[in-house]
Chain A
Amino acid sequence: MITVKGFSYWYPGEEEPALEKIDLTIPQGQFCGVVGANGAGKSTLCSALSGFVPHFFHGEFEGEVRIDKHMVAQTPLGELAGEVGLVFQNPFNQIGGARFTVREEIAFGLENLGLSKKEMETRIAEVLDLVGIEELADRSPFALSGGQQQRVALASILAMQPKVLVLDEPTAQLDPRSTEDVFSALRGLVQRAETTVVMVEHKLEWLADFVDRVIALDRGRIELDDSPTKVLSSPRMVKMGIGRTQYTETAAAAKRGKLKLRPKILPVTLDQARTFFR
């Protein structure tokens, strides 16, 4: 369980806080989406949940962030890494183990955790299956495409069996096919494990099918925090510069055009839109 209480954070030398008075409770096993315009604080929130704020980026903060019984500000990054996993945008920069094969790349984090060879082999096999990259196991991580590398990065983090998985725009640099592969892997994870997932995503039409809850950030504050349908269809999304899916926009335009449409709630997915317009 993630508990954030009155958390504010200033990057070193900055006057304005990147995050302001964040209050958040995310129960174990929830899949939470985070949206916001560029500069709203999404990446900072990811860093705060995984301990990079304050341990890596330093700066000033108020309030607390707690992951289960760990107070993030008081737990060194080396220890937090086993509890909270972070996957970010650039696939290539996450291939970091200086290893020859994907299998060894995945083992890198496990070796740092001091696991036995047997345990490592079990986890590697599990995670290759979970993420769907068995055929890549003996290939060089550097010879892979961006989408493949991103899945290797995801597998490497999942092998560490974190209680919380934080993803900062994991599909931003990927083409549609690779995006689909990454989302499938996440779907598999959610079905099989009790991991809490927090995912920052711009591709709103994908988000609604996955998440239990959406948090919208604007200028460092949480402005919306509710079910995907309620948040993603809110007109405030447009005001905050986040936008809405085409499904929602069309429905909103149709309603403005005084077409008689029964459902009151605007659709955010394809299926909802089809029902809305029928």
Chain B
Amino acid sequence: MQRSTLFIQGDRGLYRLHPLSKLAITGFLLVAAGTAPNLSLLLLGYLLLLLPLAVWSGLLHPFLKSSLLVITPFVISLAVIQGFFTPGQIILLQLGPFTFTLEGLLSGLTVAGRILLALGGTLLLMLSTRPDHLMLSLTQHGLPSSLAYIVLTSLQIFPRFQDRARVIMDAQQARGLEMRVNPLKRMRLLVPLMGPLILGSIVDVEERAMALEARAFSRSGPKSSLIVLRDSFPQRALRGLLLLGMLSLIAWRIWAVFSL
């Protein structure tokens, strides 16, 4: 399961917080990203909230690396698109019928800034939180355990599918299926490659369901936990404040829209 999660081991800063606290921080950052009125506030959020959190947890390097890999492509393409298609007065570049304006650029950067803050917050959560701990904290607060199980096993599915897909490719090539074909012929490859992947997985699913039953998964009654998640009053208070903060920001934004 480690192969498909972003989680990195650590013990400082965010790692010491209860998963729900981290979820609340991320939630707040998401709302802030959506409601901030201008680019400077977004950048301020990134610099004064996200980066310090990353440094505090010893995650600055992986955070910046993942940000660059994941977020940069979004940022650049959005800035460019917005720049070309938002109406404005100050023209920076003219390419045939398309005008790239300063207002457009700023608009693009603002959208990019929102994404940077939102994805950045989510990234921090995933880097510092074990998915099973997060799911445990949610089930302890009412999330059905079957739902939590589905989320966790979905994370396992991708590497497993990848492995199986590779073996299936080998097997079908060994039966003479030529893979080096032009793009038009590629569609023909779909059935012999996807077929076993899907059908074979269905066979597996029945056995896995049996294995779950054998571990009393469907037993009625409370479930306990080997893992103990440490919580504290200050954290609960923080979560309350963050929730309040989120609601306030949303309320303020709605008021701002209606008062125009």
**Touching chains A and B, CB distance < 8 Å:** yes
B91 interface contact, C-beta 8 A: no
A178 interface contact, C-beta 8 A: no
Chain B's closest residue to A121 (CB) is: B226
A197 interface contact, C-beta 8 A: no
Chain B's nearest CB lies how many Å from the CB of A57? 9
CB atoms of B225 and A98 under 8 A apart: no
State the interface size on chain B (CB cutoff 8 A): 33
Q: Besides the contacts A78-B220, A81-B217, what 12 more A-B pairs have beta carbons closer than 8 Å? A: A52-B210, A76-B218, A78-B219, A95-B211, A98-B153, A99-B1, A99-B132, A104-B227, A109-B215, A112-B215, A114-B222, A160-B216
B248 interface contact, C-beta 8 A: no
A30 interface contact, C-beta 8 A: no
Interface string of A70-94 (1 = CB under 8 A from B): 0000001111011001111010011
CB atoms of A114 and B223 under 8 A apart: yes
CB atoms of A81 and B216 under 8 A apart: yes
The residues in B between 220 and 249 inclusive whose CB is less than 8 angstroms from any CB of A are 220-228
A275 interface contact, C-beta 8 A: no
CB atoms of A93 and B220 under 8 A apart: no
State the interface size on chain A (CB cutoff 8 A): 43
B218 — which chain A residues lie within 8 A by C-beta?
A: 76-78
A19 interface contact, C-beta 8 A: no
Measuring CB to CB, which residues of chain A are less than 8 angstroms from any residue of chain B?
Answer: 50, 52, 56, 76-79, 81-82, 85-88, 90, 93-100, 103-104, 107-117, 120-121, 140, 142, 153, 156-157, 160
Given contacts A98-B152, A98-B156, A99-B132, contact A112 B226 (CB under 8 A): no
CB atoms of A113 and B149 under 8 A apart: no
9 contacts between A and B (CB under 8 A): A94-B214, A103-B226, A104-B227, A111-B223, A111-B224, A113-B216, A114-B224, A117-B226, A142-B2
CB atoms of B1 and A112 under 8 A apart: no
Q: How far is the CA of A60 from the CA of B214 in the complex (A)?
A: 22
